[in-house]
């Protein structure tokens, strides 16, 4: 069994609380999303699961065994793809794969076979002799993943693996993760800034902010938490300075976010609030260039809960 159970984990860096009593359970064979803005505690939680840092309180169990008591055996089950590109720049793709394979005690034919399969999954089989420093950002990201899956890990942990990647490489990376999950029943823990990625591949999610768990569940369950809300986006030609306060005075407006000439509102689905908003804008002589009313997405859930966009 390769499920991950996180029990009331707390971690501090000096006086700063990085994780505050976070709990979650990641089932074997599922793709679990870990979402949150910068400073939410995502990477800290990943480092704790990987046993790279120690926790102040709580425990993390993998397959029922604690990371505190059997760290080396548990680490060998995990494939960890760090947020940064952690590779030897001056070496080739093949040399990098070989090095990490050897660290996992692979050798001979077995090593060659694993190098072949890892490079195939990540689409690097035609680039084995290429030096890492001459590769594009997307290709490096793929190699970053390939090095982590050399030993066929039961659990794959990816910390924002698609940052700064071109759409083609991003699709390839996401497809590789799905394929590993589907064919090898790999348990995947995935963090991202990109909500659409999380929506596309994750079975369940947890949203963190400032080290605290905000919400957890399947995509549908999470969206249901704000199901009586509607998202309104209005594009205008200009906006007076005090519009945020003016919108907040309308009963039923829950969140207001204004960037230049774009207004983003989360409102109650009832009570003709859209009409009140339009009336307010025309009273202030603001011309509406476009207005859209949408059902909530994970992005709007996040905005609703935290009051800020995921990429802030």
Partner 1 sequence: MIHNTWKVVGAILAKDLKVAGSQGALIVLLLVFPLALGLFYGLMYQNVFDQNITWAPLTVFLLDETGEADQGFIGKVLNVESLPFVQKRIVSSVRGFEESLAEQKDAVGIAIRRVEGQTLIYWHPIGESSLEKSILLQAVEKGIEEYQWQFRASVFLGSEAESFQKVWETFAARPLFREIAREDIRVLSTIEYFLISLFAAFGFMFSTEFLRDREQKLLARAFMAGIGKSTLYWSNFLSNFIIFFAGILVYFAIVFGLILRSSIAIVPFFGIAALQALVVSAFQSLAGGLFKTNKTGLAFILPALFVMLYLGGAFYSVNQEPTMEKIANFLPNYQLFKLYEGLVLGHPYQEASRAFILLAVSTVMAFIGWFAFTKKEVI
107 binds partner 1 (CB under 8 A): yes
Q: Which of 34, 78, 156, 265 binds partner 1 (CB under 8 A)?
A: 78
Q: Alpha carbon of 194 to those of 100, 116, 243: distances in Å?
A: 29, 30, 29
Contacting partner 1 within 113-172 (CB under 8 A): 147, 151
Q: How far apart are the first and last CA of the chain?
A: 37
Q: Which stretch binds partner 1 (CB under 8 A): 100-108, 120-128, 279-287, 289-297?
A: 100-108
According to the binding rule CB under 8 A, does residue 224 interact with partner 1? no
Binding status of residue 204 toward partner 1 by CB under 8 A:
no
Among 14, 15, 72, 260, binds partner 1 (CB under 8 A): 72
Binding partner 1 by CB under 8 A: which of 95, 152, 166, 203? 95
Supply the DSSP symbol for 198. Answer: H
Per CB under 8 A, 53 contacts partner 1? yes
In 156-229, alpha helices (H): 167-184, 195-201, 219-224
CB of 223 to partner 1, least distance (A): 34
Q: Measured between alpha carbons, how far is 224 from 283 in angstroms, rounded to an integer?
A: 34
Two structure tokens written together for 304: 């609703």
Tokens matching residue 2:
């390769």
Tell me the longest C-alpha to C-alpha distance in the chain.
Answer: 77
We find the least distance from the C-beta atom of residue 104 to partner 1, in angstroms, to be: 5
Q: How many residues bind partner 1 (CB under 8 A)?
A: 29
**96 CB-contact burial (10 Å; exposed 0-12 / middle 13-18 / buried 19+):** buried
Question: Token pair of 111, please?
Answer: 């090593």
Q: Which of 100, 190, 247, 302 touches partner 1 (CB under 8 A)?
A: 100
- Using rule CB under 8 A, residue 237 touches partner 1: no
Question: At its nearest, how many Å lie between partner 1 and the CB of residue 163?
Answer: 15
**Helix intervals (H) in the chain:** 42-49, 71-75, 93-103, 108-121, 137-148, 167-184, 195-201, 219-224, 243-248, 273-283, 298-306
Does 218 contact partner 1 by CB under 8 A? no
Give the pairing of strands 155-159 and 57-62: unpaired
CB of 148 to partner 1, least distance (A): 8
Q: Which residues bind partner 1 (CB under 8 A)?
A: 47, 50, 52-54, 72-73, 75-76, 78, 80, 82, 84, 86-88, 90-91, 95, 98-100, 102-105, 107, 147, 151
């Amino acid at each position: 069994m390769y499920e991950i159970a996180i029990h009331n984990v707390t971690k501090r860096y000096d006086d700063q609380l990085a994780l505050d009593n976070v709990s979650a359970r990641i089932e074997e064979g599922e793709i679990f999303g870990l979402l949150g803005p910068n400073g939410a505690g995502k990477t800290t939680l990943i480092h704790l699961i990987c046993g790279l840092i120690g926790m102040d309180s709580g425990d993390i169990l993998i397959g029922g065994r604690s990371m505190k008591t059997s760290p080396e055996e548990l680490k060998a089950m995990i494939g960890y793809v760090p947020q940064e590109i952690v590779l030897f720049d001056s070496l080739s793709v093949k040399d990098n794969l070989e090095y990490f394979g050897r660290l996992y005690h692979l050798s001979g034919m077995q090593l060659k076979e694993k190098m072949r399969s890892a490079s195939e999954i990540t689409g690097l089989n035609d680039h084995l002799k290429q030096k890492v420093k001459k590769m594009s950002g997307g290709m490096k990201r793929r190699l970053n993943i390939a090095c982590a899956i050399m030993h066929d890990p039961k659990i794959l942990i990816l910390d924002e693996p698609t940052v700064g990647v071109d759409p083609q490489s991003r699709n390839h990376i996401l497809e590789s993760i799905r394929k590993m999950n589907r064919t090898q029943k790999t348990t995947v823990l995935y963090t991202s800034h990109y909500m659409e990625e999380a929506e596309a591949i994750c079975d369940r999610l947890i949203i963190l902010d400032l080290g605290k768990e905000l919400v957890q569940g399947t995509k549908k369950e999470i969206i249901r938490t704000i199901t009586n809300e509607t998202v309104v986006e209005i594009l205008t030609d200009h906006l007076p300075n005090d519009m945020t306060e003016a919108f907040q005075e309308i009963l039923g407006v829950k969140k207001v976010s204004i960037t230049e000439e774009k207004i983003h509102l989360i409102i109650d689905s009832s009570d003709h609030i859209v009409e009140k908003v339009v009336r307010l804008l025309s009273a202030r002589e603001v011309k509406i260039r476009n207005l859209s009313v949408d059902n909530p997405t994970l992005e709007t859930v996040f905005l609703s809960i935290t009051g800020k966009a995921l990429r802030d």
